């Protein structure tokens, strides 16, 4: 619980007092003890005063170790994910790669062959160069995960669900059981699902990772990452120490913007889900579209698992495969007027991108695939714009 200089709790509402959307909307129910302001301040301070008896009773010494602005965002994220602790980072990649830097040379890692391409590339280049044994598998198939596990040697099973850019689904509870049976941890990149739709720790995962650049902040104006842990164990203390010593921290202003963005998380994600469902259903019948990839569609191979482990929607991300192949897909992306032709996802504005152009050689993204990140605009504006862009 964040505290002021006299040790009083800054949060007037504990985890037990309210449900997650309320905690988010009210930044944990925070009220400034001096001014009664309802908006938390930014603390740009890099250093904090020691008490006369040489202690740091307020819990802050130097901002690379602990910063009241990111502490507040971390408390809220830990509460939303139901975790024992949260650490924010300078980016999603900083958060994810910190996990792998805790592992030792020779440790074995199982990761998906369909996942955020930047992390897949890091694992298969830097990760392998540092001695990690990395196996990429079809993580939508629990048998494939089981076959890849090397009991005793496998230290981390990493999954992403729904996963970029074709949105396969991994059964989190099943993957957790397999990982634990082999003596490994399960980490889940839950960037696309967000705590609004899925709480991986409640399903048995050990760690949740977010590119907070995406839905958590939601306004395409902050690069940030977060890890949330099920347990405050030795591994977690190493993660905290590495962040502290390595310095991949979130700046005060970014942390403040993240906390501000989190306050509307539930509304934004719910709206994006409804619109994505509407678009997926309508685009399936479009003559210029060969396939719609969306876990909310009954024909999606991961639909049954998604329906079980995602509550309240299937997310705001979908992909379309355009009739006519790569050139037709690129031409479609060039013709949109309302969708923004840009990378990233999870912002209030809808984005469209030809994913294979971003990921380059070796991508699992089909060449005719356009990735759609659905924002909060009017659903019919988005549909009409795609319709005109797909037209002759
Ligand atoms: C699913 C997913 N995970 C991780 C990342 C990396 O996050 P960041 O760009 O904040 O470093 C991204 C970024 O696109 C992502 O989409």
Q: What radius of gyration, in Å, describes the C-alpha atoms of the chain?
A: 21
Say if residue 45's pLDDT is above 70: yes
Residue 345's pLDDT band, with cuts at 50, 70 and 90, is: very high
Which pLDDT score, from 0 to 100, does residue 302 have?
98
Say if residue 12's pLDDT is above 80: no
As separate numbers, helices (DSSP H) first and strands (DSSP E) second, the chain gives 15, 12
> Which residues have CB under 6 Å of ligand 1?
91-93, 116, 118-119, 160, 164, 189, 191-192, 211, 213, 223, 225, 345
Alpha-carbon distance of 388 to 385, in angstroms, equals 5
Once rounded to an integer, what is the mean pLDDT over residues 219-246?
98
225-229 and 207-211 strand pairing:
antiparallel
Nearest 5°: CA angle at 225, between 220 and 227?
A: 145
Q: Which of 214, 268, 321, 355 is catalytic?
A: 214
Which pLDDT score, from 0 to 100, does residue 49 have?
97
Which pLDDT score, from 0 to 100, does residue 8 have?
36
To the nearest whole number, what is the mean pLDDT of the chain?
95
- Residue among 99, 112, 117, 118 whose CB has most ligand 1 atoms within 8 A, to mutate: 118
Which pLDDT score, from 0 to 100, does residue 373 have?
98
Say if residue 14's pLDDT is above 70: no
Alpha-carbon distance of 160 to 117, in angstroms, equals 11
Instruction: Write out the DSSP string of 299-358.
Output: TSTTHHHHHHH--S-S-SEEEEEETTHHHHHHHHHHH-SSSEE-S---SSS-EEEEHHHH
The Cα-based distances of 363 to 96, 131, 356 in angstroms read 20, 24, 6
154-160 and 185-189 strand pairing:
parallel
Query: Is 164:354 a contact under the CB 8 Å cutoff?
Result: no
Say if residue 170's pLDDT is above 60: yes
Handedness of CA 246, 24, 295, 221 (dihedral sign): negative
Alpha-carbon distance of 223 to 219, in angstroms, equals 10
**211: helix, strand or coil:** strand
Which pLDDT score, from 0 to 100, does residue 391 have?
94
Q: Return the ligand 1 atom nearest residue 223 CA.
A: 10
pLDDT, one tens digit per residue, over 115-158 is: 999 999 999 999 999 999 999 999 999 999 999 999 999 999 99
Q: Which of 71, 171, 189, 368 is catalytic?
A: 189
Neighbours of 377 (CB within 10 A): 17
Provide the Cα torsion 287, 288, 289, 290; round to 10°.
80
Which pLDDT score, from 0 to 100, does residue 17 have?
74
Say if residue 234's pLDDT is above 80: yes
The Cα-based distances of 212 to 182, 208, 235, 283 in angstroms read 30, 12, 22, 29
Query: Is 320:314 a contact under the CB 8 Å cutoff?
Result: no
Say if residue 193's pLDDT is above 90: yes
Residue 81's pLDDT band, with cuts at 50, 70 and 90, is: very high
Once rounded to an integer, what is the mean pLDDT over residues 54-70?
95
Q: What percent of the chain has pLDDT over 70?
A: 96
- Residue among 100, 211, 220, 345 whose CB has most ligand 1 atoms within 8 A, to mutate: 211
- The verdict on whether 116 is a catalytic residue reads yes
Once rounded to an integer, what is the mean pLDDT over residues 87-111?
98
Which pLDDT score, from 0 to 100, does residue 392 have?
86
Once rounded to an integer, what is the mean pLDDT over residues 8-28?
71
- The verdict on whether 266 is a catalytic residue reads no
- Residue among 88, 91, 93 whose CB has most ligand 1 atoms within 8 A, to mutate: 93
């Amino acid at each position: 619980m964040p505290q002021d200089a006299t040790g009083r709790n800054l949060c007037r509402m504990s985890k037990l007092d309210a449900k997650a959307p309320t905690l988010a909307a009210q930044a944990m129910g925070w009220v400034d003890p001096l001014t009664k302001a309802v908006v938390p301040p930014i603390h740009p301070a890099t250093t904090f005063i020691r008490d006369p008896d040489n202690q740091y009773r307020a819990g802050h010494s130097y901002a690379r170790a602990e910063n009241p602005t990111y502490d507040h965002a971390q408390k809220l994220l830990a509460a939303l994910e139901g975790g024992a602790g949260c650490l924010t980072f300078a980016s999603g990649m900083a958060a994810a790669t910190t996990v792998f830097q805790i592992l030792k040379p020779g440790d074995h890692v199982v990761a998906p062959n369909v996942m955020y391409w930047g992390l897949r590339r890091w694992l298969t280049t830097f990760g392998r160069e540092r001695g990690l044994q990395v196996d990429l598998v079809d993580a939508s198939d629990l048998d494939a995960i089981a076959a890849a596990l090397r009991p005793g040697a496998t230290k981390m099973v990493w999954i992403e669900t729904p996963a970029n850019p074709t949105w396969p689904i991994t059964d989190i509870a099943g993957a957790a059981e397999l990982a634990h049976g082999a003596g490994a941890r399960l980490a889940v990149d839950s960037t696309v699902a967000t705590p609004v739709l899925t709480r991986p720790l409640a399903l048995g995962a050990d760690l949740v990772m977010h590119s907070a650049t995406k839905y958590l902040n939601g306004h395409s104006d902050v690069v940030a990452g977060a890890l949330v842990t099920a347990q405050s164990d030795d591994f977690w203390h190493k993660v905290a120490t590495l962040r502290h010593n390595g310095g991949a921290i979130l700046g005060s202003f970014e942390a403040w913007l993240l906390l501000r963005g989190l306050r509307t998380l539930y509304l934004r994600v719910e709206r994006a889900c409804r619109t994505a469902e509407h678009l997926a259903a309508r685009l399936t019948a479009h003559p210029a579209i060969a396939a719609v990839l969306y876990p909310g569609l009954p024909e999606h191979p991961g639909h049954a698992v998604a329906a079980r482990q995602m509550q309240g929607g299937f997310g705001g991300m979908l992909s379309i495969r355009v009739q006519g192949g790569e050139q037709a897909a690129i031409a479609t992306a060039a013709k949109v007027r309302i969708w923004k032709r840009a990378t990233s996802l999870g912002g209030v504005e809808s984005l469209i991108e030809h994913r294979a152009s971003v990921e380059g050689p070796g991508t699992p993204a089909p060449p005719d695939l356009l990735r759609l990140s659905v924002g909060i605009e009017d659903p019919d504006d988005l549909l009409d714009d795609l319709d005109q862009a797909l037209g002759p």
